[in-house]
Amino acid sequence: MSDHDIPFNRAFITELELTRIREAAYSGRISGDGPFTRRCQDLLREALGVPGVLLTTSCTHALEMCAMLLDLGPGDEVIVPSFTFVTSVSAFALRGARPVFCDIRPDTLNLDHEQVEGLITERTKAVVAVHYAGVGCELDALRAICDARGIALVEDNAHGLFGRYRGQWLGTVGRFGTQSFHETKNFTCGEGGALILNRAEDVQRAEILREKGTNRARFFRGEIDKYTWVDLGSSYVPSDVLAAMLHAQLERREEIQASRAAVWRRYEAALADWAEGLGARLPVVPAHCEQAFHMFYLLMPSPDARAAFLAHMKARGILAVFHYVPLHLSEHGQRLGGGDASCPVTVDVSERLVRLPFFGGMSDAEQAAVIEAALAFGG
């Protein structure tokens, strides 16, 4: 096999996506907030049962909007996991807020809610809960902590659309939720995101921030006869061509999720005994969580075993990858005070975690090859 005959990720695209893109392209309305944007927002709002959903150009931009809606600035603090993608933190640091890095749980790899309370100060304005691999954080505990102190809970749900925590949709429990529709996510338009607004009073200002600080959205609904600049903001509105592709993905959500669930469960069944014998660990999904089937990872017994496994898979044309480097130890994280953080679980997990190829529409033959290669690795 040549290098990467089996990729880590492949978008699950059908003729429906191409049909919707053509519809948008020929409609004469391909800029932001067109018909497909509104269809996506309506679909997500109704499916999730929330007051508002706004499509954005990325999950990063949805998080930046959260920081703006919270009026964060210098002197404010935001509690964030160190084991996450950089924009879970940088979106708040851009406003001048100081990230306070928190460790993760050793089971779900989510924010350790038992450590959050000890990190809160009078300057804490928000806690960011990242639902790693689409498995919910302990939201009841986090919401109780935040509500008791008037702190905003922000759910970075880039991995978890249509996952649940104790029956509640991920992204709908905190004040805000954010979604990603990047190429690697369950539902994609290449690049894109969404802001979930769980309080009705946040919807109008969010529309303004997303439209360059203007009340343009109200103008297009016919609520005012002209629009003007009324607040700070930026341009976070995606093209309707992207929304058209995303709408097709959301229409196919049951098919996409069923395909991903089948891949995940086949990995679990095939690799459980091998992993136990090797001293590796499979993902942990608590009984009260319904995961979104975003990824399948292994925690190898040591960093050396991880490196050997990645090389073993690469030699067989299979692209398995590691995940986050701890943000509190990163160059810029240390500039922001991350060197003072104690995150031993994050450091340990970061050195041992491997993600296997995982995507909707993965063929039985492709997955069988991955499984066969993994089982051939003896440490």
Same domain? For 244 and 287 the reply is no
Task: Answer yes or no: is 52 within a domain.
Answer: yes
Q: Coil, strand or helix: which one is 95? A: coil
Asked if residue 54 lies in contact with residue 197, where contact means CB atoms within 8 angstroms, the answer is yes
254-272: average pLDDT: 98
Q: What is the pLDDT of residue 379?
A: 67
Claim to verify: residue 228 and residue 307 sit in the same structural domain: no
Same domain, 318 and 287: yes
10 occurs within a structural domain: no
Same domain as 22, residue 140: yes
- Using CA atoms, how far residue 262 sits from 145, 232, 302, 359, in Å, is 36, 45, 29, 10
Task: Give how many domains the chain has, as a whole number.
Answer: 2
Residue 166 tokens read as 């104790």
Token output for 27: 């409609």
pLDDT of the residue at 82: 98
The pLDDT tens digits for 99-118 are 999 999 999 999 999 999 99
Query: Measured between alpha carbons, how far is 139 from 132 in angstroms, rounded to an integer?
Result: 13
pLDDT band at 222 (very low <50, low <70, confident <90, very high): confident
The mean pLDDT of the chain is: 96
| Same domain membership, residue 243 and residue 258 | no
CATH number at residue 332: 3.90.1150.10
- Same domain flag for 165 and 260: no
Is residue 172's pLDDT more than 70? yes
Q: Mean pLDDT across the stretch 311-316?
A: 98
**Last residue of one domain, picked from the residues 202, 222, 251:** 251
The predicted structure's pLDDT at residue 333: 93
Q: pLDDT at residue 4 above 80?
A: no
Top-ranked range on mean pLDDT: pick from 27-31, 165-169, 223-227, 321-325:
165-169
Q: What is the pLDDT of residues 68-98, one digit of tens each?
A: 999 999 999 999 999 999 999 999 999 999 9
Domain that holds residue 123: 15-251
What's the pLDDT at 1? 39
What single-letter DSSP state applies at residue 267?
A: H
Contact 343, 112 (CB under 8 A): no
Contact 133, 295 (CB under 8 A): yes
Classify strands 98-102 and 77-81 as parallel, antiparallel or unpaired.
Answer: parallel
Q: Is residue 369 domain-shared with residue 306, that is, in the same domain?
A: yes
Q: Evaluate whether 98 touches 122 at the Cβ level (below 8 Å).
A: no
Count Cβ neighbours within 10 Å for each residue of 141-159 and write b for 16 or more, e otherwise. ebbebbeeeebbbbbbbbb
Assigned domain for 120 exists: yes
Q: What is the pLDDT of residue 2?
A: 44
> How high is the pLDDT of residue 225?
87
Task: Please state, for a pLDDT cut of 90, what percent of the chain lies above it.
Answer: 92
Q: Are residues 371 and 276 in the same domain?
A: yes
Note the pTM of the prediction, 2 decimals: 0.96
Q: Tens digit of pLDDT for each residue in 125-145?
A: 999 999 999 999 999 999 999
Q: Is the pLDDT of residue 36 over 60?
A: yes
Residue type, 184: T
Task: Please report how many Cα atoms fall inside a 13 Å half-sphere around the Cα of residue 79, on the Cβ side.
Answer: 28
pLDDT (tens digit, 9 = 90+) per residue, 39-59? 999 999 999 999 999 999 999
Q: What pLDDT score does 218 carry?
A: 87
- pLDDT for res 224: 87
Same domain, 77 and 218: yes
**162: closest CA among 265, 292, 46?**
292
